[in-house]
Amino acid sequence: MPSHDPTKASEEFFQDASAIHRRAMQSLFDRLDRLCEGAIAVDRHARVVWVNEKYATLLGLPSAEAPVGRDVEEIIPNSLMRQVVQTGQPILLDIMEFGSQPLVVTRMPLEDEAGRVIGAVGFVLYDRIHALKPMVAKFMQLQNELAEARRRLAAERRPRYSLADYIGNSPAVLEVKRLARRAAQQDATVLLTGETGTGKELLAQAIHGSSLRKDKPFVAVNVAAVPEALLEAEFFGTAPGAYTGADRKGRDGKLKVADGGTLFLDEIGDMPLDVQAKLLRALQEQEIEPLGANKVIRIDVRIIAATHVDLERLVEQGRFRPDLYYRLDVLRIELPPLRLIKPDLEALCETFLDQIAARTGTAVRSISPGGLVALSGHHWPGNMRELRNTMERAAALSDNQLLTEEDFRGILPKQADGAAPPASLPSYDEALALFERTTLSTALAAAGGKAAEAAKLLGMSRANFYKKLAKLGLSQY
C-alpha cells in the first residue's frame, strides 16, 4: 500500500499553483495582446521598451521597433504611462485622445519580485468609443441625475423670501426692516427675538438674500424639532461608522452643509447645554470635528439664531450658557407681535389672500370693512401664522368673494370673560414698549444716527438712552 507524505504533497501543490499562476499571467497577457487594439510597455523611466504591431500601425509608426528607447510622450503626447510608473497606481479605464480619435485604454504598473515598480504596460481596449456606448450612456444618465439632484438641492437652499415679503408700514415694522438691512450689510451674528409666528425665518432668509452670502446655501434647523440624542450629529456630522446605525459613508452636518452661507438656528433656546458648548467653539474657531473623526474641518458660516423665549432668563436659570448668549446677541432684532401692528392688518390679509388665490387657482378674495373690524378685535396669540391660517379657513369655507364679519365669526375663537385684556387694546407694557421704540427710532433718525444728539433731543442722559436702546434691541445707524 503506497504511503502518503503530507509534506511532499504540499510542496507539489504549491509548485503546481506557482506554475499555474505564471501560466495564467502569460496567457492573460497573450490574450489581451491578441484581443485589444494595441499594447505598449515602458520601463521605470517611462521609455518605450515594447509596442505590438497593431498599436504601431494605429499610431502611424513605420514599425514596432521604431519607438523603442524613446520617451512615451514622444510617441503618445497624451499618455499617462509616466504617472502610473511614478505612483505605482493603475488607471483601469480611461478615454485618451489621440489626435481626433478617442481611445479606451487601461494602464497597469509592473513590479519585480521585491514589489518595486520597474515599468508599466498599457492596452488599447477599443479604438472606437461607440463600442462603449451602452456604458457611456449609463454613465451620462447617472451624471445627469446627479447634476439634477444637486440643482434641486441648491434651489431648496436658496432664500425664498426678501424684505419685500415682510409686510407692513407701521413704525415697528419699518424699524425691523431698517435693522434687517443693516444686518445684511454686515457679517455679524444676528439674534431674532419675538413671539411664535412673527416671521423670524422669513426675516432670516431676507437678511441672507440681501447679504454677500446670497449665492451660498441658506440652511435652516429647528432645534426643538430634532431629537436631543441626534442634535450633535445633526450639527457637526459623523465620520463613517461613527456609531451603531450611523451611515457607513459618513454624513455632513448642517454646519458643513452651510459652509460659505448662513445657518439659521430656530428655537435656539431649546438647545442642550453640552451641544451649546460645541456650538460656541465652532462659532469662535470656525472649525468643527464630526462625531467619530480625528480631524477638524474648517468652515465659514454666518449664524442667524431665533427664539421666542427670554434667553436672559434662561441664562439666569442656568439653562443657557452666558458665553454663547453673548456670542449670539451681537445684532438683535425684535419682531413685533401682530396685536402691536394692527395698522398693517389689512395689507397682511390682502397678501395672504393673493397667495391663496395664486396657489389654488381661484379668484382673489377681499375683506369688507366689517370683516376687518372683526379681525382687528382678535388678540392673535399665533401672530402671522394664525392670521394666514384664518385666511385659509375663510377662503375654504365661504363662497363669498367679499369676506365679511359673518365669514370670520365661526372661525375666530370667542374670548372668555377675564381671560385676557381687551383684544383691541395692547397691554400697558406692550404699548409702552411700542411708544419707546418709536420715540427712540425717530430721535435717532433726526440726529443722523448719533446717540448723544438723540439723547439731547429727548432730554435724556446718554447712559439712559444707551440702556433703553439695548433693552429694546435697537441699534444706531
Query: Does pTM surpass 0.85?
Result: no
| Structural domain contains residue 414 | no
Question: Same domain, yes or no, for 465 and 372?
Answer: no
- Residues present in the chain in total: 477
Centre a 10 Å sphere on the Cβ of residue 450 and count the other Cβ atoms it contains: 15
Instruction: State whether residue 298 is helix, strand or coil.
Output: strand
Relative to beta strand 287-288, strand 262-266 is unpaired
pLDDT at residue 157 in the model: 53
Question: Same domain, yes or no, for 312 and 458?
Answer: no
| Structural domain contains residue 264 | yes
Q: Whole-angstrom Cα distance, residue 41 to residue 36?
A: 14
Question: Same domain, yes or no, for 345 and 330?
Answer: no
Question: Same domain, yes or no, for 186 and 328?
Answer: yes
pLDDT at residue 33 in the model: 63
Question: Same domain, yes or no, for 446 and 404?
Answer: no
Helix, strand, coil % in the chain, rounded to nearest 5: 50, 15, 35
List the Cα angle 322/324/325 in 5-degree steps: 60
Question: How would you write 204-242 as a 3-class SS string?
Answer: HHHHHHCCCCCCCCEEEEEHHHCCHHHHHHHHHCECCCC
Whether the CB-CB separation of 38 and 55 falls below 8 Å is answered with: yes
Q: Whole-angstrom Cα distance, residue 87 to residue 37?
A: 26
pLDDT at residue 418 in the model: 44
Question: Same domain, yes or no, for 433 and 289?
Answer: no
Please give the backbone phi and psi of residue 425, each rounded to the nearest 5 degrees, phi first. -120, 140
| Structural domain contains residue 171 | yes
Question: Same domain, yes or no, for 110 and 224?
Answer: no
Q: 187 is in which domain, residue-wise?
A: 163-336
Q: Whole-angstrom Cα distance, residue 138 to residue 427?
A: 67
For residue 231, the domain's CATH number is: 3.40.50.300
Q: Would you give the DSSP letter of residue 452?
A: H
Question: Same domain, yes or no, for 330 and 344?
Answer: no
Q: Whole-angstrom Cα distance, residue 286 to residue 280?
A: 10
DSSP H or E stretch at residue 96: strand 91-98
Question: Same domain, yes or no, for 343 and 405?
Answer: yes
pLDDT at residue 12 in the model: 54
Per-run averaged pLDDT (10 residues), the chain, 477 residues: 54 59 67 75 93 88 91 89 92 78 84 89 72 60 66 61 88 92 92 93 94 92 89 86 58 90 94 92 90 86 94 92 92 92 91 91 89 90 93 90 90 61 56 75 76 84 81 62
Q: Whole-angstrom Cα distance, residue 398 to residue 404?
A: 10
| Structural domain contains residue 354 | yes
For residue 54, the domain's CATH number is: 3.30.450.20
What single-letter amino acid sits at 31? R
Q: Whole-angstrom Cα distance, residue 269 to residue 274?
A: 13
To 10 degrees, the CA torsion angle through 265, 269, 274, 276? 50
Among 299, 320, 336, residue at a domain's last position: 336
Whether the CB-CB separation of 247 and 291 falls below 8 Å is answered with: no
pLDDT at residue 127 in the model: 58
Q: Whole-angstrom Cα distance, residue 354 to residue 377?
A: 23
For residue 399, the domain's CATH number is: 1.10.8.60
| Structural domain contains residue 378 | yes
Please give the backbone phi and psi of residue 181, each rounded to the nearest 5 degrees, phi first. -65, -40
Cell of 252: 455632513
pLDDT at residue 417 in the model: 45
| Structural domain contains residue 2 | no
Q: Give whole-number Cα distances, 21 to 28, 89, 185, in Å.
A: 10, 22, 70
Q: Whole-angstrom Cα distance, residue 361 to residue 302?
A: 38
Question: Same domain, yes or no, for 125 and 237?
Answer: no
Total domains in the fold of the chain:
4
| Structural domain contains residue 117 | yes
| Structural domain contains residue 212 | yes
Among 336, 364, 396, residue at a domain's last position: 336
Question: Same domain, yes or no, for 268 and 183?
Answer: yes
pLDDT at residue 35 in the model: 67
Question: Same domain, yes or no, for 396 and 449?
Answer: no
Strand partners, 50: 41
Among 132, 149, 179, residue at a domain's last position: 132
Going 426 to 429 to 433 to 435, the CA torsion angle's sign is: positive
pLDDT at residue 184 in the model: 93
Cell of 198: 412673527
